[in-house]
């Protein structure tokens, strides 16, 4: 199945538009990490590890959620 099967539409953004969109969002990743840390779990470590693995795999990152 593809997106057409569900009546979905999507738009491909340029790199600049994708970065601007990501920067306009609240800091979801950092918020999650801090809330998880407060519960005694390693949220910051998990977020950092996830982001480091994206960077190591040369994945495009619009926002460095772990370094804010």
List, for residues 17-66, the tens digit of each pLDDT value: 999 999 999 999 999 999 999 999 999 999 999 999 999 999 999 999 99
pLDDT digit string, tens, across residues 2-11: 666 777 777 8
Residue whose tokens read 């999650």: 32
Domain range list for the chain: 27-68
* Nearest-angstrom CA–CA distance, 62 and 45: 20
The predicted structure's pLDDT at residue 4: 65
- Single out the residue of 9, 31, 25, 36 nearest to residue 62, CA to CA: 25
The predicted structure's pLDDT at residue 1: 52
The predicted structure's pLDDT at residue 20: 96
């Amino acid at each position: 199945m593809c997106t057409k099967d569900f009546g979905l539409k999507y738009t491909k953004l340029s790199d600049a538009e994708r970065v601007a969109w990501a920067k306009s969002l609240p800091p979801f990743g950092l918020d999650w990490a801090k809330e998880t840390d407060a519960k005694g779990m390693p949220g910051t470590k998990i977020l950092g590890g996830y982001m480091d693995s994206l960077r190591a795999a040369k994945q495009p990152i619009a926002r460095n959620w772990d370094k804010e």
